[in-house]
């Protein structure tokens, strides 16, 4: 069975997984902490 999710959900899950796996990973950039980011991923 194939799992289908949106691109933004896939990016969100990949970032969360990597941040759990490696505590040295962090995200930096514009609108990172804003709830209304363009793609609502972070």
pTM beyond 0.85: no
pLDDT, position 17: 95
pLDDT tens figures, 6-42: 888 888 899 889 999 999 998 887 666 666 565 666 6
Q: What integer pLDDT is reported at residue 40 of this predicted model?
A: 66
User: In the structure encoding, which two tokens stand for residue 24, read together?
Assistant: 């040295």
CA distances in angstroms from 31 to 3, 7, 10, 11, 21, listed in the order given? 29, 18, 19, 16, 24
Q: Residue 29's pLDDT is what?
A: 74
What pLDDT, on the 0 to 100 scale, is given for residue 37?
60
């Amino acid at each position: 069975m194939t799992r289908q999710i949106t691109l933004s959900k896939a990016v969100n899950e990949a970032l969360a997984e990597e941040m759990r796996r490696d505590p040295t990973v962090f995200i930096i950039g514009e609108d990172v902490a804003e709830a209304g980011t363009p793609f609502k991923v972070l």
